[in-house]
Chain A
């Protein structure tokens, strides 16, 4: 009797409650569900758009690749302004070349770029048209080129590879070879510009030019060599773009960056499309407006963060009258008093009233700047740079397309290739032609340092300076706000979290 009761109860107990513990995801899809959905429904154009949007965080945000490329150079300094902007030294150490292996922005940029490598690779899992595949491969090449440039190690997975396994790692030169072979394979599959805010054949040619131009640098950053064959590739590619007749230097320099620049500029070859007023979605970072927010003072309109400045050596390298120095700009100066280009001296509002800083001092930007500002004038030190004339029409999401490649860069790269292959006069002609459009005097001669300086004046704050300085052998030099730095600074450290999950990565020397 007793045991009978036991059995019934035990049976009941165990029967009425057993589960196989399968986890139901509710809000999410499993891999197989997602693949079924994606294969059946994926609009490749939509994921291609997300691949384009994936460029925003690493390339547009002020704390990503732009910071790593510009703050480390002679064009940008993010000073500590007394109680403001120290941010644990995160900006300062970039300029002084004292960053450590756990630098937050170095790690974040590495991850954001590789996420783009994944997003673009992932598109190739689907039924794409040849053009869609070529766009994805172009974007992937662009992101991989940036990783190879910064870290010399590019983790790479083929489409469909298991994300749990540590991926193989391509060393810098191998990664560059991969980029070159990819671009060569797809250049003719890509669409023909315009529109310039989509991957296009000329954009692939510009990236190929950059790959060939930097090939010897990636192989040996401390003492780069320049193979004549590579330089001739640069020249040939440049000629193809020049001879297309589609591009010309724009007499209105800042139109290249102003609202609606994808249509209005005659120089832009590849830009990142921005839909005015439309939120591009989460994890896209601070958009193009961070280019002016990061530099403008709080009391200017648009109200900025009073952060980054340029250095007076760059400013002083311009001749008076050079249009690249900037000035009043329609739709900007008449609206807020703000000028474009280099901001130095007293700032005004749209009615000509002199602005003050928060302490009541005149808002008059001074050329002197130190990595740590301690004076009473610490809010106003440093020359500010407004490369993108702000869009006052659209709220949070501006109509300025972010410029990746433009014609002036093509011309200057061609000039560099000519110069490096002994054709100094050909190079000088190109540079002087550019300078005349920019209302600068003609140079009598041109050497590598002269060309580097001209690249600085033309391409300042556009994100190429670190690469240029390394290629020209001047990255480690002492300069304003910085002493000579060691060769380990030619590469960024691999983030610790990445090292601990991918044994194929090795920490770069010196970190």
Chain B
């Protein structure tokens, strides 16, 4: 394993040095020219000019101007995406202007997995988002770039933590128990979905820290485009990993021409988007007197939320060098991101580098070699914020419930420590007492030789390794009054290594069978192997209150030490796949796809899964009867296919005995019939464009039916305390309608205006389910031990809230519940409507880009409000200010009960990014394509939700059933509003 990796690295490094040397040029005279669109006369910014047969080339600047050193007789090859290539032979002139005509309208090529197809040939549901349509701003991970940009794709930042997890749902939740995240594919390399950051329980009452985003290592500025494959006819090529949809990320590649250096630099600051509305000191005093309470006023006036929050500075810089000639191209980039959180002591720093290239060899250029290396080192200083703290809360909980009349600091500036025994923790003291640093190194390396056997047939081999190594050190000082920590001190060190190797062979075949029928096919074999292992040590009882405990673990008490390590069963996947696309006269399209996946995870009786799909499309605008119609494009598409979800843990099908201290014990019972969940999707859509392509759009209907639902049950008793996995009968139905519209409203030299929008209507339901009605969606906090908020039941949507119906407060100040407190279904967190809206307005050199996202028709359970700041805190701790608004005064003794009282509509519309830029074009002779901008993220939020942010998902997993929650907020990291200024230029 390690040797494999080393060899790949060495290969890649030596290859890159060789090709760096290739790109230099020599020249004779300086030619200039302007490149414009033949139709509009607009400058072709970034068009390539290359001297044929050499590596010399350049790129047109903002005004379409270029300059290049060439000699008489050279041929300038001018290329621009979407336009026909033009060649100019250099004569005696010094100026060569060119006007390029737009190519065939639908020449755009879309990456669809193991190859690409012309957009016009697509039969499945695929959304391609290019760099110019990415959301503006600073993002630590790439999925946020397309938030709101693709219909039916919901992207939720689980919290405001930089580098935190996101919830990505393509056309809803289709699995109850296993993962619902889509498959990410980076430059053809399928990701495992696991993060290299070890999670670790800190052993205190504070709970477990949430994980970090597994894609944190990708620098968004290295990404050229993202494709979202939504329906089974598009994702069937990924078989047992395709059920949740696929997001294909393509990084930037080298361009033809002499080396160009691109620089992006931005600095910015973040502040809290919205604070929780708890009482201020004066409001608190007023409330105390209103309630006739004599305790609880300590005389000071503080705002504990402000005390833990800061203005976080962000620095984001990247530099990329690219170049190439007709023998090959390369791109090298370096990136540096340092993003401070809005919570003090929280910071994420990433150093990233990428190196990619593609080269052709042999006289006939039939041998090709592509390689790609992406690596990043990420360091996170984590805040003491957890997802499952008990009633004592973690940092945010402590800050929300801090009595605003109690000083936070002593006169000498040290934080106040309240005595133990029932008192709560000073959040600023907790910040001082807590240290948690995660360092991780991630690498994706791939090498891909190809050979053009005939003009029609290409063989390609791709070998890739994705490797992540993470280490985490966390400690809490003994002087902090947190249960199990005070007087003891705790510290732990965890490490994790995750390795994914993929070997793929493909044969691609493109052939005109007749003059009208074209075949575009790919067939392949693939082998994948995923390994994950890790270890942790954890100890308590350190003799000094202040020290770096993780450096002196031997100082801990023997009995408190806890050692563990793991090495998950390897997951091996062996697959055969084929896709054939038939095109009859660009009129009728047929795509057939099939994949057979054999997985080591599957039970012995179900080793191989087969996933077929078919897609058809009809380019109606090419028919004579529509020849004079209004449509520039009118395409009907329909697709049917089956895909799988096999995101259950390795070893789930086998009887397994685990090693425990001094013994072994059965932990998992075999199920030789265990298999994947199968999702059958029907997709019908129409793509159209009218008014000379000024208005285009897509309308799609889909119906997804997921069967063979995976569950993990406790063993059939009497049995050991283990689990077994089983596929149960039942159908999770997701269906919906998606509408996307794009309007190129105005397009001339000085005024450009594009408007785009999408809306999705989704519904989700569990049908034909006869398994147990499992409670889940665990709630945390005071008075909520073991309380759940959701219930799995036939006929209901997944994650349906099952609660008491709260009717109000009675004359005694006590809550009134309907029907003798019986529980009923009162809502669900699955948004019925998702919105995206963006507009791009250009006036002269100015450009304004706005991006709105929104979701409607769903509920959030506000566990924060319920458990952390209830009325019962009055007299000791702080409360939610809205509790005093009611017509009937609520008694401080009112019981905390999980109920509809804490179920809030999550409906929101956000101005998630707004960017104003100014193009300076060329500055002097050195800087080209110079652009300066100011960007705001999360500038406006329209919502009635009372928490930090309606975009929230504090995931917890209910013990035994292992069902993950969705749509609960529990003292999460607050969301930030960010303002950035930056500049891009190249030379």
Contact = CB atoms under 8 A, between A and B. Distances in A.
Interface stretch (A1-9, A433-441, A482-490): A1-9
B490 to A, nearest CB: 13
Contacts of A22: 600
Given A83-B783, A166-B716, A26 B525 contact: no
A260 B651 CA distance: 44
A51 to B, nearest CB: 11
B587 interface: no
Interface string B806-821: 0000001110000001
Contacts of B821: 89
Interface in B711-767: 713-721, 724, 726
B585 interface: no
B917 interface: no
Contacts of A89: 821, 897
Nearest to B879: A83
A114 interface: yes
Given A24-B569, A358-B422, A163 B892 contact: no
Contact of B295 (A115, A360, A501): A360
A80 B667 CA distance: 37
A27 B600 contact: no
B421 A13 contact: no
A31 B651 CA distance: 12
B656 interface: yes
Given A24-B569, A359-B295, A164 B669 contact: yes
A243 interface: no
Contacts of A111: 714, 717, 721
Contact of B503 (A17, A31, A108): A17
A17 B505 contact: yes
Given A34-B664, A90-B786, A19 B895 contact: no
Contacts of B667: 28
Interface stretch (A262-270, A298-306, A385-393, A465-473): A298-306
- Among B505, B565, B812, the one with the most A-chain Cβ atoms within 10 Å of its Cβ is B505
Contacts of B453: 2, 5-6, 9
A38 B664 contact: yes
Contact of A164 (B391, B602, B670): B670
A87 interface: yes
Contact of A118 (B717, B771, B779, B812): B717
B788 A27 contact: no
A23 to B, nearest CB: 4
Interface string B592-613: 0000001111100001000000
B719 A163 contact: yes
Contact of A83 (B294, B420, B813, B896): B896
B610 to A, nearest CB: 15
Contacts of B656: 25, 28-30
A464 interface: no
A87 B785 contact: yes
B782 A23 contact: no
B554 to A, nearest CB: 19
Interface string A78-91: 00111111111110
Interface string A144-171: 0000000000011100000111110000
Nearest to B803: A88
A82 B892 contact: yes
Given A29-B664, A299-B421, A17 B525 contact: yes
Contacts of A107: 960
A330 interface: no
A507 to B, nearest CB: 11
B454 interface: yes
B360 interface: no
Interface string A49-89: 01000000000000100000000000000001111111111
Given A88-B897, A278-B559, A9 B459 contact: yes
A86 B718 contact: no
A290 to B, nearest CB: 13
A122 B870 CA distance: 49
A359 B655 CA distance: 54
B578 to A, nearest CB: 13
- Among A25, A31, A63, the one with the most B-chain Cβ atoms within 10 Å of its Cβ is A25
Contacts of B665: 50
B718 A115 contact: yes
Contacts of B924: none
Contacts of B607: 21
A102 interface: yes
B559 A395 contact: yes
- Among B653, B771, B892, the one with the most A-chain Cβ atoms within 10 Å of its Cβ is B892
B600 A501 contact: no
Interface string B857-886: 000000000000011110110000000000
A461 interface: no
Nearest to A32: B655
B816 to A, nearest CB: 13
A121 B877 CA distance: 52
A83 B898 contact: no
Interface stretch (A226-234, A367-375, A415-423, A444-452): A367-375
Contacts of A498: 716-717
A33 B659 CA distance: 12
A110 interface: yes
Nearest to B566: A27
Contacts of A376: 892-893
Interface string A97-132: 000001011011011101101110110000000000
Interface in B7-64: none
A121 B772 CA distance: 28
Contacts of A352: none
Contacts of B653: 23
B805 to A, nearest CB: 14
Given A47-B663, A104-B786, A23 B569 contact: yes
A81 B658 CA distance: 42
A155 B92 CA distance: 97
B527 interface: yes
Given A9-B459, A299-B421, A23 B654 contact: yes
B775 interface: yes
B315 interface: no
B555 interface: no
B773 A303 contact: no
B715 to A, nearest CB: 6
B500 to A, nearest CB: 15
A500 B600 CA distance: 27
A122 to B, nearest CB: 8
A157 B719 CA distance: 9
A89 B787 CA distance: 8
A46 B814 contact: no
A40 interface: no
Given A111-B717, A374-B814, A30 B775 contact: no
Given A28-B569, A497-B772, A373 B671 contact: no
Contacts of B773: 102, 496
Given A299-B421, A358-B422, A497-B960, A21 B599 contact: yes
B505 A13 contact: yes
A90 B505 contact: no
A118 B663 contact: no
B897 A86 contact: yes
A378 interface: yes
Interface in B408-465: 420-423, 451, 453-454, 457, 459, 461
B714 A87 contact: no
Interface of B: 293-295, 391, 420-423, 451, 453-454, 457, 459, 461, 503, 505, 507, 525, 527, 533, 559, 565-570, 572, 574, 598-602, 607, 650-651, 653-671, 713-721, 724, 726, 771-775, 779, 782-788, 812-814, 821, 870-873, 875-876, 891-898, 960-961
16 contacts: A18-B527, A23-B570, A23-B600, A23-B653, A26-B570, A29-B659, A30-B655, A34-B664, A82-B892, A83-B873, A86-B783, A86-B784, A102-B773, A164-B670, A303-B421, A359-B293
